[in-house]
Structure 1
Amino acid sequence: MMLITTSHRPTRRTRSFGHDLEKVFPNSLYITRGKKTLKDLLMEAYDRNYERLLIINVWKGNPLKMTFIRVDPEDWGYMGYLYLHGIKLQREMGFRDVRPLREEMPLVITTAKRTGPDHAAFAQAFAELTGGTFVRRRERSLLGIADKYNTDVLGVVERHPRGMAVNFYRLDVTKESPVGPLVSVKIWIMEDGRRWDYKEALSLRGENREE
């Protein structure tokens, strides 16, 4: 699905985040950045037959931004960006021994129940960035969706006190709860102009209440 790495000089927490994402994006691979340039990374992704490159940028020791890049020697380009409030690693959610998925299966992206149109829009954008399959939740259970699409891994967009978040389920590990990582998003931007900003959305909600 994608090659995952970090900006130069990552922290241990950022490397752990990259490894966690490797475990929820089927057939993906986390590599150490070292001194590799962007061109080096794109060539490595192409040589390994990945269609996407994900770079995790660091600020003050924590993951700040996720940059998604399309891998194509004739037409490579930036796809979109997620600016993060914070993350919760798999080990912080009680899961330390999750193994990467080394097999082909769809990554299904959906929403939690009782979420709004902003969450659905982000779920669709996140599916595009990751090469996943967006599925509208409606009243279906996660197990029912997973069974229909023959997958063990789902990303679920949910409400968060400071924006929105995406949490990950590995049904081959447990069907009871998400394994993480939990990724809190404050801004998402797509190269085609679609975007969402928590502060802007909060301001709009305030204006609508005043009216």
Structure 2
Amino acid sequence: MMLITTSHRPTRRTRSFGHDLERVFPNSLYLTRGKKTIQELLMEAYDRGYERLLILNVWKGNPLKMTFIKVHPEDWGYLGYLYLHGIKLQREMGFKGLNPIREDMPLVVTTAKRVGWDHIAFAQVFAELTTGKFVPRGDKSLTYIADKYDTDVIAVIERHPRGMVINFYRLDVTKDRPVGPLINVKIWIMEDGRRWDYKEALGIKVPRREKGEGQESSSENRD
């Protein structure tokens, strides 16, 4: 599915976040960045057969941004970005030492029941970023969805007062509650122009100094 790494000089919490993601993205790998450039990471991902490169960027000791890059030797490119309010690690949700999923199965992306169109749109975007499979929730249970699509892992987009959250379920571990990590997303941006900002969605006036956050440009150092 994807190669997961960090920006240079990551914090311990960011590395733990990367390892947690390795445990919920099937057939994915967390790789220590070291001094590798973006081009070297892309070639590493390509050589290992991955379709995506995910870079976790740090700010003030915590993961701030998830950058998704398409892996292709001749047509690689930035796909989109998730800006985060915060995360909760698996160990903080009561799960330690989960094994990564080393078999072929889809990452199914769906929503909680009775959510708005913003949540459905983000579920579709998250599936696109991760090469997962979006499945409309309706009234279906997560167990029903997992059985139908022959998977053990489901990412569920849920409501949150400050944006949206992504909650991960590993049904091979427990069917009763999410295992994490829990990711609180405040802004998402796609390179094709699609975007969502929780403050704009709530009609909150954004101060001028905040408007630069979430605006990507070719001059920005994105690694």
Using the size of structure 1 for normalisation, the TM-score is 0.96
Shift of the alpha carbon at 1:161?
Answer: 1.5
SS at match of 2:202: helix
- Superposition deviation, residue 42 in structure 1: 0.5
Structure 1 residue 120 displacement after superposition? 0.2
The equivalences for 1:59-78 within 5 A come to 59-78=59-78
Structure 1 residue 97: Cα displacement: 1.8
Q: Which amino acid aligns with 1:106?
A: P
Q: Give the AA of the match of 2:147.
A: D
The alignment yields a C-alpha RMSD, in angstroms, of 0.7
Q: State the partner residue of 2:143.
A: 143
Amino acid at match of 2:117: P
Cα displacement string for residues 89-115 of structure 1 (whole angstroms, at most 9, x for unaligned residues) = 000000002110000000000000111
Aligned identity (percent) is 80
Q: Distance in 1 between matches of 2:143 and 2:51?
A: 28
Counterpart CA distance in 2 for 1:97 and 1:30 is 15
Is 1:184–2:184 an aligned residue pair? yes
Q: Which residue of 2 aligns with 1:160?
A: 160
Q: Tell me which stretches of 4 or more aligned residues in structure 1 moved more than 3 Å.
A: none
- Displacement of 1:50 in angstroms is 0.6
Counterpart in 2 of 1:38? 38
Secondary structure, counterpart of 1:129 in structure 2: helix
Distance in 2, matches of 1:89 and 1:182, equals: 7
Give the Cα–Cα distance (whole angstroms) in 2 for the partners of residues 57 and 35 of structure 1. Answer: 15
Q: State how far apart, in whole Å, the 2-side matches of 1:178 and 1:71 are.
A: 29
| Residues matched between the structures, number | 204
Cα distance in 1, alignment partners of residues 102 and 152 from structure 2 = 12
Question: What's 1:196 paired with?
Answer: 196
Unpaired segments of 5 or more residues in structure 2?
A: 205-223
Amino acid of the structure 2 residue aligned with 1:156: V
User: Deviation per CA, 1:5-30, whole angstroms, max 9, x where unpaired?
Assistant: 00000000000000000000000000
Aligned to 1:18: 18
C-alpha distance in structure 2 between counterparts of 1:44 and 1:194, whole Å: 29
Show CA shifts across 1:65-102 (max 9, x none). Answer: 00000000110000100000000000000000211000
Structure 1 distance, partners of 2:159, 2:99, is: 27
1:197 is aligned with what amino acid?
D
Distance 1:57 1:88 in 2: 16
Deviation at residue 148 of structure 1 after TM alignment: 0.4
Structure 1: runs of 5+ lacking an equivalent: 205-211
